[in-house]
Chain A
C-alpha cells in the first residue's frame, strides 16, 4: 500500500501536477517561519536588554536579609549571583546634611547592563563590576554638589567616615519610583556593619541578583516561589520601569502581529493550493473506486500522500524560512548593537504544524467525502457527488488554525481581535459577492459586447466568483493590514516619543518658586515648562467602606494601597491620556476624580464610585467621573488620580514639571540646581533612550519582515486567481470553437476579473482599515487617523492584479489551436 502511495505520488510529481501545491506549502511555511524566527530573536534581544534595568535577568527583593540557602541553591543551578542592599540615610559633610539613597553592592554587580564610574585616581570613565574599595564610596554628581564636596574629599555616613573615590555616571538599575529618588551613594558591603545604620527593624531593601540560561532561571523561579514570604518578591524584566514595560508590551504585540499576519497568509496560500489539489483529484477517487479500491484503501492512500507531501513541502519551507531569517539577521546586524540571540524552536514546530494542518485540513476532508462516490460515476458523470457541508469539511481545520493563531500570538486579545475582524470581513466578502452575482443574474447583461459577456460570467459562475472574491479579498486585506501596521501604526507609536520629549523631571518645586523658575528658564533661553501641582494622599475609603492592605488579596493592590498617591488637579486632560469611560469636567466648580484605568482595575474602582482621599489629615470626598488610559511610555508627567481645579487644598501642593534638555546643555542643569537647591532633577534620558531603541528596533524589524511577507502575499493572490482559472481554460477552448475572437475572450475575462478585483480591493481596504483602527485603539492605545490613499491603491491594485492574472492565465489557451484542447 505504501509502495502504491509513493509510486502514485512520484508519478504526480513527475507530471508537474503537484507544483502549485508544493509551491504554496514552501512559500507559506517559509514566509511564516522566517518572520516568526526573526521576531523571536528580536524579542529575546529586547527582553535581554530590559533586564539591564534590573542589572540582572531575575532578582529576589526582600525587606529582610536573604537566607544563605537561596544563594547556594541558585549557585547549584548554575546561575550567576550578586547582591545589593539599599536604604536611605543622611550624609554629612561639615555642616551640610543631605539625604542619600545608599546602596552597598557585592562583587559582580551589575550582572546585566553597565555601571560607569569616573574614578578620581584614573580620571577616565570605567566600566566596573566590583564595588568601591573598603573605606571609600562613589557618589552621584548631584550629591557631591549639594554637599559642596569634590572627589577625594571625605564624608560621614552613620558612624563611619568615607573617602569619595569616584563619580557614578551610569547605573543600570537606577529606577524605582520617580518621585522618591534622592541622589545615590554606592559603597562596599564590608563597611556596612561599622556604619551602625542597619539594625533589626531598619528599613532596607535586600536584593539577590541572578543571571544565566533561561532554563536555569525558570527552574530557580519554580524553586523559590513556595519560599517567598510577605515583603519578598521575584522581579523579572517585565517588572522594571513602567515606561519600559509599556514599550516592551507594545513591541511584543507589533512583532506578534507581524507573525500572525504571515501565519494567516501562509494558511491562505496552503488552503488555496490544497483546495485546488482536492478538486483535481475528484475523478481519481471515483476511478480508484471503480478499479476496486476499498474505502479504507482510499483513505489510506490520500492520507498517506498528503502527509508525505505536507512533510516534504513543510520541511523545505522550514529550511527556506530558516535561511531567510538568517539573511535578515545578517542584513540587520549592523543596526543592532548587540548580537541577536539564537532563535528558539517554537516557530519551527509551529511552521511544520501549520503546513501539515492546513494542507490535510483543507485537502483531505473533501477527498474523504468522496470515498462514498459510486464507482459508476466514472461512466456516468452526471451522477451526484456526495457532498458534506462546508462547515463539516473546513470546520475542524479552521478550529485548529485558530488554536495555532492563539498559540503563536500568546495574546488572546490580539487573536480575538484579528480573528473577529477576519470573520467579519469574510462574511462581508461572501455577502457582497453573493449579492453581486444575484444582481447580475437579474440584470442579465447579455448582448454582443464582450464586456457584457464578462459581467454575465460573474453571475454564471456564482460559486467560483464568491470563492475567488473571498480568497483574493482576504489575501489583499492581510497584505494591506501589514502595510498599515508598517506605516501608520508604527509611525503613530514613534510619534508618541518625539525627539523633544521631556527627558528631565523637576520635583519638589514649591509654590513660591513657580515664578522664579519660569523666569530662570526664560533667562536661560529655554522654553517655559508646563508645571503641574501635586499633593500626596492616601486612599481612605471606597463607597463609604474604609480600605487598607487587608481589603485586598492581590500583592499589587496591597502595595498600591499602602503607599501615598500623587494627586493633581487640572482643567484639561494631559495629551498622553485617553478617556476610556465617563467624561472630563467641563466646569471648574465640579467635583470628581479621574482615575487611571490600570489602578482602578487593581483596586476594584468603578465609574461612579465614591472615593475619599486623606491628604495631610484632611479628607476629600468625590465620585469617580472618568477612567483614563495613560501612555506611560510617553514620558510626560502623568498621575494616577486627577481632580478638577478647586477640589484640593492649594496650600499643601508642591509642583512638578518635565522639560526637554537638548544634548550638550548640561551646564543648564548645574545652574538650575545651584539656583534652586531644594528642587530634585531626575534625568530620564537613559531610560528614554532604551524605549526609543526598542521602538526603532521594532520598526526596523517589522519593515524588513513585512517586505518579505508582502512578496509571499503576492504569490498567494496569484495562486488564488490561478486556481480558479483551471476551468476557464476548458471553457475558453469551447468558446474558441464556437467562434469567439481572442480579443472578445480577453475583454470578457479582463472585465470579469477586474470587476471582481475592484470589489475585492475595496472590501480589503475596508477590512484592513477597520482592523487597523480596532488594533490601534483597543490594543496599542494609539490614536489612528485612518488612511485615505489606501482606498484608490487597493482598488487599482485589485483590478490590475486580477485583470493581469486573468489574461496571463488564458494566454496559453489562446495561443494553441482549439483542436488540441477540445477534440
Chain B
C-alpha cells in the first residue's frame, strides 16, 4: 500500500509511544519502550524477536488485556486507556479474535461449546449453528463433541482458530500459534489462518519467531529488549 494511501485510510490499530514497565526484584524493568505503528484493515503484521523481547506484552497491550505504563493504543480510533476494564472487554468481543500459543480452550467444554462461547457472549441468536459451521470450516465437524484433552495439539489450535473467527472479528491476534505444534501441523494451521484471513479481510497481527511465517505477512515489526528494532513495509 502506498504511503499516500496509508495516510488517507483510517488505521484499525494505532500504537503511540507504547511502553510497559514492571517491578522486579532488581527494581523497575522496562519490557517495552516507545513502540509506534499503525495498521490498516486487512493488513497482516508479523511481530518478531527473540524470547523476552516483549512480543507477547505488546500483543496483550494491543488487545487491552493490560494497560501501558506510558503511551496509548487505539483500536478503531478508540483509545483503550480511556475505557474501563468492561469497556475494553466489550471492544474485544466486538472487534477482536484471539489465538494463543497454548490454545487456552476451556477444558470442561466440548469443541463445539468452546466455539459457541464468544458467540453467546455477544448474544448471537443461533450460536450453535454458526459454531458448527466454523468447526466444519476448520475440518473438525466430526470431533465437535470431543473435549480439549481428547484432541491433539493441532486439533485444539484449529478449534481455537474457529473460535477466533466465529464472531467475524476485524482484528485477529495470534500469539505464536504454531509454537506448540510440529512443523507439519504448524504449517496446516498457518495456511488455514491465512486462508480465513483472506476470505474475511481480517487484519492479522502475528507474534512469531518463525522467519518463514513472518515472510508471509505483508509487514514486519522486529523487537529487541522491548524496543522497536526495525519495521518493514510500514
How distant is the Cα of A369 from the Cα of B54 in the complex, in angstroms?
41
Apart from A446-B127, A460-B113, A737-B65, list 16 A-B contacts with CB within 8 A. A382-B153, A448-B123, A453-B121, A460-B110, A461-B108, A727-B107, A730-B107, A735-B106, A738-B118, A739-B91, A739-B93, A739-B121, A744-B121, A817-B66, A822-B65, A823-B59
How distant is the Cα of A273 from the Cα of B56 in the complex, in angstroms?
36
Complex interface residues of chain A between 460 and 513 (CB less than 8 A to chain B): 460-461, 463-464
Contact yes or no, B92 A823, CB < 8 A? no
Shortest C-beta distance, A445 to chain B (Å), equals: 10
Contact yes or no, A739 B56, CB < 8 A? no
Is residue A741 within 8 Å, beta carbon to beta carbon, of the partner chain? yes
Contact yes or no, A448 B124, CB < 8 A? yes
Is residue A8 within 8 Å, beta carbon to beta carbon, of the partner chain? no
Is residue A678 within 8 Å, beta carbon to beta carbon, of the partner chain? no
With A382-B152, A741-B89 as known contacts, state yes or no: A735 contacts B127, CB within 8 Å.
Answer: no
Most buried by B among A381, A453, A740, A742: A740
**Contacting residue for A447 out of B118, B123, B150, CB 8 A:** B123
Is residue B199 within 8 Å, beta carbon to beta carbon, of the partner chain? no
Contact yes or no, B125 A739, CB < 8 A? no
Is residue A160 within 8 Å, beta carbon to beta carbon, of the partner chain? no
Shortest C-beta distance, A724 to chain B (Å), equals: 11
Contact yes or no, A741 B108, CB < 8 A? no
Is residue A743 within 8 Å, beta carbon to beta carbon, of the partner chain? yes
29 A–B contacts from the bound complex (CB under 8 Å): A382-B149, A446-B116, A446-B120, A446-B127, A448-B120, A448-B124, A449-B123, A456-B113, A456-B120, A464-B108, A727-B108, A731-B106, A735-B106, A735-B121, A736-B89, A737-B92, A738-B98, A739-B90, A740-B89, A741-B89, A742-B85, A742-B86, A743-B86, A817-B66, A817-B85, A820-B66, A822-B100, A823-B65, A823-B175
Is residue B50 within 8 Å, beta carbon to beta carbon, of the partner chain? no
Is residue B128 within 8 Å, beta carbon to beta carbon, of the partner chain? yes
Residues of chain B within 8 A (CB-CB) of A461 are: 108
Residues of chain B within 8 A (CB-CB) of A80 are: none
Contact yes or no, B65 A819, CB < 8 A? yes
Shortest C-beta distance, B43 to chain A (Å), equals: 22
**Contacting residue for B118 out of A449, A464, A731, A739, CB 8 A:** A739
Interface residues as binary, B70-95 with A (CB distance below 8 Å gives 1, 0 otherwise): 00000000000000011001111110
Contact yes or no, A382 B150, CB < 8 A? yes
Contact yes or no, B120 A737, CB < 8 A? no
Complex interface residues of chain A between 414 and 472 (CB less than 8 A to chain B): 444, 446-449, 452-453, 456, 460-461, 463-464
Interface residues of chain A, those whose CB is within 8 Å of chain B, are: 381-382, 444, 446-449, 452-453, 456, 460-461, 463-464, 727, 730-731, 734-744, 817-820, 822-823
Is residue B188 within 8 Å, beta carbon to beta carbon, of the partner chain? no
Residues of chain A within 8 A (CB-CB) of B229 are: none
Q: Which single residue of chain A is at the shortest CB-CB distance from B152? A: A382
**Contacting residue for A822 out of B104, B110, B117, CB 8 A:** B104
Contact yes or no, A817 B67, CB < 8 A? yes
Contact yes or no, B92 A739, CB < 8 A? yes
How distant is the Cα of A730 from the Cα of B105 in the complex, in angstroms?
10
Residues of chain B within 8 A (CB-CB) of A456 are: 113, 120
Contact yes or no, A738 B92, CB < 8 A? yes
Interface residues as binary, B125-149 with A (CB distance below 8 Å gives 1, 0 otherwise): 1011000000000000000000011
Shortest C-beta distance, B185 to chain A (Å), equals: 13
Is residue B151 within 8 Å, beta carbon to beta carbon, of the partner chain? yes
Q: Which single residue of chain A is at the shortest CB-CB distance from B118? A: A738
How distant is the Cα of A449 from the Cα of B124 in the complex, in angstroms?
10
For the complex of A and B, list the 4 residue pairs with the smallest distance between their C-beta atoms, beginning with the closest.
A448-B123, A739-B93, A819-B65, A819-B66
How distant is the Cα of A292 from the Cα of B62 in the complex, in angstroms?
42
With A382-B153, A731-B106, A823-B56 as known contacts, state yes or no: A737 contacts B123, CB within 8 Å.
Answer: no
Residues of chain A within 8 A (CB-CB) of B127 are: 446-447
Residues of chain B within 8 A (CB-CB) of A740 are: 89, 93, 121
Q: Which single residue of chain B is at the shortest CB-CB distance from A448? A: B123
Interface residues as binary, B190-208 with A (CB distance below 8 Å gives 1, 0 otherwise): 0000000000000000000
Is residue B60 within 8 Å, beta carbon to beta carbon, of the partner chain? yes
Shortest C-beta distance, B201 to chain A (Å), equals: 21
How distant is the Cα of A744 from the Cα of B93 in the complex, in angstroms?
13
How distant is the Cα of A744 from the Cα of B121 in the complex, in angstroms?
8
Shortest C-beta distance, A740 to chain B (Å), equals: 5
How distant is the Cα of A418 from the Cα of B84 in the complex, in angstroms?
54
Shortest C-beta distance, B159 to chain A (Å), equals: 13
How distant is the Cα of A737 from the Cα of B63 in the complex, in angstroms?
8
Most buried by B among A381, A737, A817: A737
Most buried by A among B57, B90, B105, B107: B107
Shortest C-beta distance, A756 to chain B (Å), equals: 15
How distant is the Cα of A319 from the Cα of B151 in the complex, in angstroms?
50
With A382-B151, A739-B89, A823-B175 as known contacts, state yes or no: A453 contacts B67, CB within 8 Å.
Answer: no
Is residue B122 within 8 Å, beta carbon to beta carbon, of the partner chain? yes
Residues of chain A within 8 A (CB-CB) of B85 are: 742, 817
How distant is the Cα of A276 from the Cα of B234 in the complex, in angstroms?
52
Residues of chain A within 8 A (CB-CB) of B98 are: 737-738
How distant is the Cα of A639 from the Cα of B96 in the complex, in angstroms?
86
Residues of chain A within 8 A (CB-CB) of B149 are: 381-382
How distant is the Cα of A744 from the Cα of B63 in the complex, in angstroms?
19
How distant is the Cα of A37 from the Cα of B176 in the complex, in angstroms?
61
With A453-B120, A823-B56 as known contacts, state yes or no: A737 contacts B66, CB within 8 Å.
Answer: no
Shortest C-beta distance, B100 to chain A (Å), equals: 7
Q: Which single residue of chain B is at the shortest CB-CB distance from A381? A: B149
Shortest C-beta distance, B153 to chain A (Å), equals: 7
How distant is the Cα of A36 from the Cα of B127 in the complex, in angstroms?
56
How distant is the Cα of A138 from the Cα of B128 in the complex, in angstroms?
97
**Contacting residue for A446 out of B90, B96, B104, B128, CB 8 A:** B128
Residues of chain A within 8 A (CB-CB) of B86 are: 741-743
Residues of chain A within 8 A (CB-CB) of B152 are: 382
Is residue B213 within 8 Å, beta carbon to beta carbon, of the partner chain? no
Complex interface residues of chain B between 132 and 189 (CB less than 8 A to chain A): 148-153, 163, 175
Shortest C-beta distance, A283 to chain B (Å), equals: 13
Contact yes or no, A819 B151, CB < 8 A? no
Contact yes or no, B94 A737, CB < 8 A? no
Is residue B224 within 8 Å, beta carbon to beta carbon, of the partner chain? no
Residues of chain A within 8 A (CB-CB) of B117 are: 735, 738
Contact yes or no, A737 B108, CB < 8 A? no
Q: Which single residue of chain A is at the shortest CB-CB distance from B65? A: A819
How distant is the Cα of A744 from the Cα of B123 in the complex, in angstroms?
11
Is residue B217 within 8 Å, beta carbon to beta carbon, of the partner chain? no
How distant is the Cα of A382 from the Cα of B102 in the complex, in angstroms?
13
Contact yes or no, B56 A448, CB < 8 A? no
Residues of chain B within 8 A (CB-CB) of A820 are: 66
Shortest C-beta distance, A458 to chain B (Å), equals: 11
Shortest C-beta distance, A123 to chain B (Å), equals: 86
How distant is the Cα of A448 from the Cα of B123 in the complex, in angstroms?
3
Residues of chain A within 8 A (CB-CB) of B125 are: 447
Contact yes or no, B108 A448, CB < 8 A? no
Residues of chain B within 8 A (CB-CB) of A742 are: 85-86, 89
Interface residues as binary, B15-53 with A (CB distance below 8 Å gives 1, 0 otherwise): 000000000000000000000000000000000000000
Shortest C-beta distance, B71 to chain A (Å), equals: 16
Residues of chain B within 8 A (CB-CB) of A735 are: 106, 117, 121
Shortest C-beta distance, B57 to chain A (Å), equals: 8
How distant is the Cα of A818 from the Cα of B67 in the complex, in angstroms?
11
Most buried by A among B65, B110, B123: B65
Shortest C-beta distance, A50 to chain B (Å), equals: 58
Residues of chain B within 8 A (CB-CB) of A730 are: 107
Residues of chain A within 8 A (CB-CB) of B106 are: 731, 734-735
Residues of chain B within 8 A (CB-CB) of A727 are: 107-108
Q: Which single residue of chain A is at the shortest CB-CB distance from B113? A: A460
Contact yes or no, B65 A460, CB < 8 A? no
Residues of chain A within 8 A (CB-CB) of B128 are: 444, 446
Residues of chain B within 8 A (CB-CB) of A382 are: 148-153
How distant is the Cα of A820 from the Cα of B66 in the complex, in angstroms?
8
**Contacting residue for B120 out of A381, A447, A463, A817, CB 8 A:** A447
